Chain A
Amino acid sequence: DTAVSQTPKYLVTQMGNDKSIKCEQNLGHDTMYWYKQDSKKFLKIMFSYNNKELIINETVPNRFSPKSPDKAHLNLHINSLELGDSAVYFCASSYGPGLQYFGPGTRLTVL
């Protein structure tokens, strides 16, 4: 059983479009995250939710909006996609002050 799953795995879209990435975890964790990994492999935290409440909101364009319908799900919606948004986006989850478990990633390509 997959602990942290993301859909889709690949997303290819045109500039200006709006897209969403979904994340689900079945670990019973309280906290979920979104990370962006650029072409140089650097992992940059974007957002974190704890029990559906936003607790980390890094300097990210407001075209990115996370939504957590319940503590097992954290989705990422991106408006007006730009070329620079092309990256791999990872969802992760953790329990309390514990370690983070990452999903398989969504590779977003903006043409």
Chain B
Amino acid sequence: QQQVKQSPQSLIVQKGGIPIINCAYENTAFDYFPWYQQFPGKGPALLIAIRPDVSEKKEGRFTISFNKSAKQFSLHIMDSQPGDSATYFCAAKGTSGSRLTFGEGTQLTVNP
């Protein structure tokens, strides 16, 4: 049972563009929404995370927008660079414990 849906599956942008990756969840018993970045041959690494009482969080060029009523959240990458080319996963953590439910992943390619 997939509880976090992520789109698009893949995304190609030019350097300097602003790729946007969207996620939607069904379970309201989630209390933390991290994004992970995975480069080929590496493990996923935490990129940025947000709690549902905040509508936006920025860290450097990465911004999460969160819409609690719509149960949606998205990742924006400002001034994208070829080095941002990776697979991005959204996730949601339940209110009890630390279990994460992951989205299906988005393969981002930033062309020079």
Give the distance in Å from the alpha carbon of A99 to the alpha carbon of B105 in the complex: 18
Give the one of B43, B98, B102, B104 with max A CB within 10 A: B98
Distance in angstroms from A3 CB to nearest chain B CB is 10
Contact between chains at A41 and B34 (CB < 8 Å): no
Give the one of B34, B36, B96, B97 with max A CB within 10 A: B97
A interface residues, tally (CB under 8 Å): 23
Contact between chains at B99 and A48 (CB < 8 Å): yes
Contact between chains at B97 and A101 (CB < 8 Å): no
Q: A42-B104, A42-B105, A45-B99 are in contact. Are A105 and B42 (CB under 8 A)?
A: yes
Contact with A along B42-68 (1 / 0, CB 8 A): 111110010000000000000000000
Task: List which A45-103 residues lie within 8 A (CB) of chain B.
Answer: 45, 48, 55-56, 90, 92, 94, 96-103
Contact between chains at A43 and B44 (CB < 8 Å): yes
Contact between chains at A100 and B105 (CB < 8 Å): no
Contact between chains at A97 and B93 (CB < 8 Å): yes
Task: List 16 A–B pairs whose Cβ atoms lie within 8 Å, in order of A's numbering.
Answer: A41-B87, A41-B104, A41-B105, A41-B107, A45-B100, A55-B97, A56-B99, A90-B44, A92-B43, A97-B98, A99-B49, A99-B98, A100-B98, A100-B100, A102-B43, A102-B44
